[in-house]
Structure 1
Amino acid sequence: MTFLRRDRLAGHLDEALLTPLTVVHGAAGAGKTLLAADWASTRDEPVAWLTAQVADKGGGTFWAYLLEALRLAGVTTSADAGLPAEAGRADDRLLTRLAAELSTRNTPVILVVDEYDRVTDPEIADQLEFVLRQAGHGMRLVLVTRTEPLLPLHRYRAAGTITEIRNAELAFTPGEAAALLALHGLRLPADDVGALVERTRGWAAGLRLCALAAQGETDPRTFLKEFEADRTTIADFLLAEVLKRQTAGTQDLLLRVSVLERFCPDLANALTGRTDAERVLTALHGQNAFVEYLGHAWFRLHPLFGEILRAHLRVRSPELEAELHRRAARWLRRSGSLGEALGHAAAAEDWETAARAVIGDLALGEVFTGLHCDDLSRLFSRMGPEPASAATDLVRAACELSRCEVARGSSRLRRAAQALAAQAGPADGDPADLAATRLSCAFLETLVARLTGAPAQAERAAQLAEQVRRDVPDALLEAHPELIALLLTHLGSARLWAGRVRDARAALTTVVDSSGTGATEQARRECLGHLALIDYLRGWPGRAERTALATVTAADRGGPPPAPGPGLASLVLAAVAVERDELDRAQALLDAAVDARHPPPDPVTQAGRAIVTGRILLARGDPQAALEAADRAVAADVASPWAEAHTASVAAAAHLAEGRPEMAVKLLQDAPGDEPVCLVGAAQAELAAGRFEAAAELLDRMRPQGDLGPAITVRAALVRARLAGENGDHAAQRGLVARALREARRERLRRPFAEAGPWLRTLPLGALAEGRLPCGPTRRGSPARTGEQPAPPVVEELSGRERDVLRRLAQMMSTEEIAADLYVSVNTVKTHLKSAYRKLAVNRRHDAVRRARELGLL
């Protein structure tokens, strides 16, 4: 027989010499007897061993065998002690004399009673405890048992005179399990050993039987990962040693609760129709009958025992399993354990019950929150086309909408709404369930309205939700705050699309200001992203940046706040980076904002992506690509004024960059006229076309509009400054530019000056312009050469890395040498050179160096 000595347990058993009583109790096959026998074989003290199988033959027989065990251990008693006169009982005088003689020993005798759980006669237990107390130091009693022994253990525990090794301590550790498997010629990776220990809970017999079975397999590693417990000798062991030792009623209870991951007495009673499950389960746990106590009146079966019982149930009562799952689902839903209830309803393929549970518990929002969305989606993916009811259609619609399958989800939603409209009232079901169903339907209708850009539909759905939520129990609303939070998020997004900024801000702020929980965190982040977009659209990039960064929770932060993941917040941060002329960062944020696996989910995000993409392309000097980005269609039922205005602004700027001011004017005339970004863009276009009065009139229309931020007002001031210069008022021009620079400095704005044109370089602005303008003015005292055209201005400031490359270019270093010197790739150097050439308006290395020197860059 293969045996692994476990030193940690042997060391614990050594404490038996320090206490009069030691109890080793654990499940069948836990290794109790082997442990005690191995330890006893190493002792110098006399060890008497008694197997308590004789206990059922009476007290006299038990004590006769015990006296013989002492004799075989070399502990003799005097003739005065005598022997039991009857098989059924032992004389008190015999026990008194035995205890007295043991008490005189200098070296204690160790008495091991194996299978002590067979001692069911209280009289034998009382007698043994009497001898133990009276023998004092002369005897050490070690009981090996499956159950709590019939002794007053509480007294020994209170006095600290007991050594106990329980089932949990008997379980093999991963290291011990690996050593045991190695003794059987099996060497497995640590992860595989850990998985096996978890499945067996470190049960000694289970591990050994698995090892023996795997020895005969060609691929033992796969076998130990995938073996079916009911088809192994483990099943024979557990059925014989555990199940069949129980009464018929207890066997039935164990088989029925085997369909559960965990259970409490009330749930067990619901599955069995009995009322005494608490007593039975407590007894089974006390007997170490593979029923584990989890605390708070909850139990579970040992994993292998549960597998075997489920297989046994299917053979014995093949149709009962589905009914047990249905009963469990109903009980768990009533108790508030929705997740477990859904699992059991799905196991019974009772999809109507599962859908009603999700809808009735107001948990439909969890499909979208990220907390349980994957679990719910996987569970309901197994649901077929039947049944078809309002509840099942709502769940199907939610799953499809969560995957942005708007057409299919909308179709399901319409069918569910029609079914609900046909329901007359409470007579058709539980009033609370009906109210929750209608609220869930209104929630999905608000989502569809957001995804399709239908603000009027969103308002109608939100009004309906406000009406029906009064009939929903407060406890449900408090248990699932994510549904209302998401509904307000969708409403706020739809209002923003419609250009109703104040109303949108009200809905979005309600979610942000509400007491945040894990369930509402996703909705809160979405709302912050929308609020950040509102700040950006009103020209407040700094405020927009702070709001967008607030979507990263404190728990996510370590050092500088990271950028948010895919979504609107990253788009806003990209737009802010463009305003600051941080184009590489803007591109990185734009890439992060877009999930390559899914298109932007709603028109707000689609429009935001088109606008930011266009502005980056404009800043990089690619007006044609910017024009294509701005012309990209946004799928929506109605047009959005701000989206039209900003895309028109990008397109107009692209036309201006290519010398088509009339086209820019026409585009902006067709766009919503009151949007500030359009007014400034149109004024720039009119100025480029030479119509100064028209440009001034457009700027004057902006004055009544309040709360405009510097990203707009700085651009307006620069247009006014150019108009002042054209009219010969250079003092006013310098004042306007100086004001624009001061406003821009607070927000770190650079882009408006890069877009304004070369006329800025001629102004003597001094230190105020440092770092704001695309480049300083041409150095005084260095007139252009006779007959040469003046060098074109730099419209975009060179980056730090581009200047590094230019400096090395001026030292006649090759591309490869520059790459090696800067620790970058050759392709990276070529990219920086290409960008520098474009900004300097040159095509060759020599011209780039000469132009940089003329501008004072080298």
Structure 2
Amino acid sequence: MTGPEEDESPVAGGRADPRGDPFLRTRFAVPARPATYLRRERLTRHLDQALTTPLTMVNGAAGAGKTLLVADWAARRGRLPVAWLTADAAGDGPGVFWAYLLRALRTAGVPLSAGIGAPAEASRVGPALLVRLAAELSGRERPVVVVLDEFDRVTAPEIAEQLEFVLRHAGPGLRLVLVTRTEPLLPLHRYRAAGELTEIRGAELAFTPHEAARLLDLHGLRLPPAAVRALVERTRGWAAGLRLCALAAGQSPDPELYLKEFEADRSTIADFLLAEVLKRQEAGTQELLLRVSVLDRFGPGLANAVTGRDDAEAALARLSRENAFVEHLGHGLYRLHPLFAEILRAHLRMRRPGAEPGLHRTAAAWLRRSGALAEALTHGAAAGDWEFTAGALIDDLAIGQFFTGPRSDTTAGLFAAMGRDGTGPAQELVRAAGRLARCDVDGALAHLRRARHDLAEHDGTADRAAARLSCALLEALAARLAGAPDRAEDAARTAEGLWDAVPEQLERHPEIPALLLDHLGSTRLWAGRFEEARAALSTVAECAPGAVTALVREDALARLALIDQLDGWPGRAERRAREALAETERFGLSPSAGAGVDRVVLAAVAVDRDEPGRARALLDASAESHPALRDPVLAACRALTTARLHLARGDPGAALRAVEEEVRADVASPWVQGETALVAAAAHLAGGRARTAAGLLARVPDDQVACAVEAARVQLAAGRAAAAVRLLDRVRPEGRAGPAVTVRAALVRARAADEAGDGAAARRLVGRALAEARRERLRRPFAEAGPWIRPYLRSEAPHRPAAGRPAPCFGPSRREPPPPVVEELSGRERDVLRRLALTMSTEEIAADLYVSVNTVKTHLKSVYRKLSVNRRNEAVRRARELDLL
């Protein structure tokens, strides 16, 4: 018997197609996989479903890896015959197509009877042949798999109808797999509805970072995960792009650098995409693709604007359907594959030199009319048209985007390329905003003067209201950064007079009034007008939450927390500071975009609670704040808190340096001046310079209760008990300030009573101080008090712990009366204590801290002494009672 290959009868099809041409054996060959082919099990498992559904479609762009995926899968189907047919580029007529398909079946070893016949004409096929073929396939015990590769080349509708007829009537005897760039003309909706269609599309074909790393490894390239992710992002996981990049990178002395910096238009990727995608399109579509390449995302209206045509909608929909590297994003928006766009832009510059700026300018104008300001600014900047771009920003009242919101970095970066040549109020205001965003007050003021001069030359207010309001906002910020409250008040009054002229812009930009009030509140806080500051900042804190106002709300809440902390309410300050931190965190803003004051407040609370390690970490984190919010309030508070931390650690010299280096002697803020004098006085006292310390008290304002109490404490430490008590009697902090102030005031009076020999009064005052301190977990006031307080602390009975957690305890337990911790644990002692609580052995602690066992034992002895305990478990229990763990 002769096999299929030897069958030359005309009825069976012979060795020639209906045109008389010999069959091309390459069209029946399953493509070979290269040595670097990566088998992706997730796709082959999905493709296995092709054996359970009549129809399978693998649909993706050129180079997506469709053919190799199906070829690899087909080569592993040893139990079933797989007939492979690659469609002809020239396009087959129905007769030629079916002649080739019958030949493919026989080549795969599928026995077909001679009674099926063969097409006699190239352009048609008789229905009898299709009926006989379907009937013969339906009688098979095991199905035959037919793979039609490059099926998008089959353009004759009748072939799709005939194929669907055979597929439907062949039943379980045929499994059809279509490999295509476009959706075939078959009634896919019926197969989907019946659950009889297996689909693998472009998104699933895209390589994941893990798969890309394995593919690069097959090419001998091992890259860091970040480099692989960047390559996958740039190629969108496109298989051909990854393989071509890997081949090119393999020839480079530095593959990682090559893949990071390669120019797509100068690579083999460009040749592939130009040949396989661009040149397959007719001339008008090629021109459309070249022109829209300057756009990131675009709809038909914008595409029509930059191309000068009116049929972009149909063209874009067709290109998307054909997987021509035009992706439909939904809602009528499209985008090009990033590599394709990059290559098209290079091709545009070559074919249409100088056209790119004009296309950007056209896009910018269209987008501005459509209300898409962000995209309009991007294209205006790309066109180099700074008059248009700055004007659009200012007229829309979007100047606040330099300082707050998710686009602040983008906006600042966009205008960084603007030169100094352009004039006019809009460009001067933008330059001023850029300077202020970098905390350059002097440079900003020069631009603001020129902007005011230009605006003064225009008659009327309404037509330039947005520019005048932007100018007032920037002047308020400049006043804030310079610590000039009067100038900030003037700017605020000017701005308020312009609100009614720009209602639509204000509705779009709620950050503008929020920023203005935040600047105003901060300058009032600097001036020591706490209640006025609270009023302005509370209005900001209560504004509607949103990404554009998150940073401003955080700053306002943080400064309200600072007022609470300065007034002696650490618990309230802590809660508000944490609320401030949560404001930016919930909108995904980075810590470097934060206000910074919230962390300084938490650090100050940590100092009062004798938690120096936590205070240091918070102070370090507060340095990472938005440059435009690094005003004198933040700088002074960081310096003062740092100085108090140094005092708590027993380093008065460092405390003096902290305030002398960061706070000017002629500072205009009364409370900062007073707090600085108190820190300096405390440092001089610790150094034994009582006279110098007392001389500094003249700079302490009496109207600030917290400052007055601190001054009384310094007076007492300098040996002036009567003067200290008189000062407390005059300011009467009780009822005017919070526990952090009143506890210290009570301890000053207690020490004065102790020195006067009135032990009963001293004991009563210490007891009152302890009761208040427990609620706020205040420890530092007792550590500062000195040795005289120890007998009074020992005599105090403990309070019952609150439910849920042990209360901080400054007195002894009922069973054993250890005194409270007055001498602070060092940072390393705390490290040892934390590991002790984890039941680590001495050797394990030494290994974990990279120190010797003897060093750990020394630290343990010190911890036991300071906690007044003798054993490990007692140390841990005592530490928990004192909230040290």
> Does TM-score exceed 0.5, indicating one fold?
yes
1:548 aligns with 2:577: yes
Judge conservation of contact 1:753–1:774 (CA < 8 Å) in 2.
Answer: no
Q: Which residue of 2 aligns with 1:784?
A: none
> If the length of structure 2 is used for normalisation, what is the TM-score?
0.77
Matched to 1:452, the amino acid is A
- Is the aligned partner of 1:6 residue 2:67? no
Taking the TM superposition and a 5 Å limit, the aligned residue runs for 1:491-506 are: 491-506=520-535
**Alignment deviations for residues 199-254 of structure 1 (CA, whole Å, 9 cap, x no partner):** 43444443444455455555555444443332233322322222112111111111
Q: Distance in 1 between matches of 2:150 and 2:759?
A: 107
Shift of 1:368: 2.5
Mapped to 1, the partners of 2:770 and 2:281 lie a distance apart of: 88
Cα distance in structure 1, aligned partners of 2:569 and 2:33: 76
SS at match of 1:163: strand
- Worse-matched range after superposition: 103-112 or 128-137: 103-112
Cα distance, 1:652 vs structure 2: 4.6
Q: Does 1:347 align with 2:376?
A: no
| Aligned counterpart in structure 2 of residue 22 of structure 1, from 50, 56, 59 | 56
- Partners of 2:628 and 2:745 lie apart in 1 by 35
Assess, with a 3 A threshold, how the Cα gap between structure 1 residues 291 and 675 changes in structure 2: closer, same or farther.
Answer: closer
Query: 1:804, 1:22 → 2: CA distance?
Result: 68
Which structure has the larger Rg?
Answer: 1
Q: Give the residue type in structure 2 aligned to 1:420.
A: L
Q: Following TM superposition, by how much is the alpha carbon of 1:448 offset from its aligned partner in structure 2, in angstroms?
A: 1.3
Q: Deviations over 1:74-96 (max 9, x none)?
A: 66767765554544333344444
* Alignment pair present for 1:59 and 2:88: no
Deviations 1:638-682 (A, max 9, x none): 722222333333445556667777766664445434333555566
**Counterpart code for 1:162:** L
**Structure 1 stretch displaced more, 391-400 or 272-281:** 391-400
CA contact (8 A) 1:453 1:636 kept: no
Contact 2:94/2:159 (<8 A) preserved: yes
Residue 468 of structure 1: aligned partner = 498
Please, which of 474, 489, 495 is the counterpart of residue 459 of structure 1?
489
- The corresponding residue for 1:419 is 454
Please state how far the C-alpha of 1:503 moved relative to its aligned partner: 1.0
Q: Structure 1 residues 77, 387: closer, same or farther in 2, change over 3 A?
A: same
**How far did 1:301 drift?**
1.9
Cα deviation, residue 313, structure 1: 0.6
Deviation at 1:143, TM superposition (A): 3.1
- Quote how far apart the aligned CAs of 1:315 are: 0.2
Aligned counterpart, 1:643: 672
Match in the other structure for 1:799: 824
CA contact (8 A) 1:58 1:89 kept: yes
User: Quick one: which amino acid aligns to residue 552 of structure 1?
Assistant: L
Whether the 8 Å contact between 1:532 and 1:544 is mirrored in structure 2 is yes
2:568 maps to what in 1?
539
Q: Which residue of the partner structure matches residue 766 of structure 1?
A: 795
Take 2:293 and 2:829, find their aligned partners in 1: how far apart are those partners? 71
Q: Give distance in 1, aligned partners of 2:410 and 2:454.
A: 27
Q: In the alignment, is the contact (CA less than 8 A) between 1:566 and 1:594 conserved in 2?
A: no
TM-score, with length taken from structure 1: 0.79
CA distance in 1, matches of 2:721, 2:53: 105
Is the alpha carbon distance of 1:192 and 1:746 closer, same or farther for their aligned partners in structure 2, counting shifts above 3 Å?
closer
State how many pairs are aligned: 794
Aligned with residue 485 of structure 1, among 502, 505, 514 = 514
Q: 1:249 is matched with which residue?
A: 284
2:201 corresponds in structure 1 to 166
Q: Report the Cα offset of residue 185 of structure 1.
A: 5.6
SS of 1:53's partner is coil
Asked if residue 262 in structure 1 is aligned to residue 262 in structure 2, the reply is: no
Q: Name the structure 2 match of 1:442.
A: 472
Partner of 1:272: 307
Work out the percentage of aligned pairs sharing the same amino acid: 61
Q: 1:846 maps to which residue?
A: none
Distance 1:549 1:738, change over 3 A: same
Contact kept? 1:362, 1:436, Cα under 8 Å: yes
In structure 2, do the counterparts of structure 1 residues 473 and 596 end up closer, same or farther at CA, with 3 Å as the change threshold? closer
Deviation at 1:580, TM superposition (A): 4.8
Aligned-partner residue type, residue 824 of structure 2: S
Amino acid at match of 1:159: A
Matched with 2:165 is 130
**Alpha carbons of 1:89 and 1:541: their partners in 2 closer, same or farther (altered >3 Å)?**
closer
Structure 1 segment 15-414 matched on structure 2, within 5 A: 15-37=49-71, 39-40=73-74, 42-43=77-78, 45=80, 47-53=82-88, 56=91, 58-70=93-105, 82-84=117-119, 86-106=121-141, 108-172=143-207, 192-214=227-249, 216-220=251-255, 222-369=257-404, 371-414=406-449
Give me the whole-angstrom Cα distance separating, in 1, the residues matched to 2:89 and 2:607: 90
- 1:399 maps to a residue whose letter is G
Q: What residue is the counterpart of 1:809 in the other structure? A: none
3-state SS of the aligned residue for 1:150? coil
Alpha-carbon shift at residue 804 of structure 1 (Å)? 9.2
**Residues 95-133 of structure 1, C-alpha deviation per residue, up to 9 Å, x if partnerless?**
444444544455555444443323323233223323333
- Distance 1:647-1:767 versus aligned 2 partners, 3 A rule: same
Residues 401-431 of structure 1 show CA distances to partners (whole Å, capped at 9, x for unaligned) of 222222112222232233233333478xxx5
What do the CA deviations read for 1:245-287 (whole angstroms, capped 9, x no partner)?
A: 2111111111111122332222222221222222111111211
2:552 corresponds to which of 510, 523, 540:
523
1:510 match: 539
- Give the counterpart letter for 2:521 in structure 1: G
Decide whether aligned partners of structure 1 residues 323 and 670 sit closer, same or farther in structure 2, where only a CA change above 3 A counts: same
2:422 alignment partner AA = P
- Identify if the C-alpha distance between structure 1 residues 49 and 467 changes in structure 2 by more than 3 Å, giving closer, same or farther: same
How many angstroms does 1:451 deviate by? 1.3
Q: Distance in 1 between matches of 2:694 and 2:89?
A: 108
CA offsets, 1:52-74, max 9 Å, x none? 43885643444444455555556
Amino acid at match of 2:409: D
Look up the equivalent residue of 2:57 and give its one-letter code.
Answer: V
| RMSD (Å) for aligned C-alpha atoms | 4.7
Q: Is the Cα contact below 8 Å between 1:669 and 1:682 reproduced in 2?
A: no
Deviation at 1:738, TM superposition (A): 5.0
Q: Is the 8 A contact 1:454 1:638 kept in 2?
A: no
Matches within 5 A, 1:550-699: 550-553=579-582, 567-580=596-609, 586=615, 589-594=618-623, 601-616=630-645, 634=663, 639-653=668-682, 667-669=696-698, 671-677=700-706, 679-680=708-709, 698-699=727-728
Aligned partner of residue 365 in structure 1, secondary structure: helix
Task: Give the Cα separation in 2 of the matches to 1:451 and 1:584.
Answer: 30
Contact 1:209 1:234 in 2 (8 A): yes
Q: What displacement does 1:494 show?
A: 0.6
Alpha-carbon separation, structure 2, partners of 1:764 and 1:104: 99
SS of equivalent to 1:256: helix
1:793-839 Cα deviation digits (max 9, x unpaired): x9x9423569999xxxxxxxxxx9xx95674599x99999xx99xxx
Q: 1:690, 1:51 → 2: CA distance?
A: 102
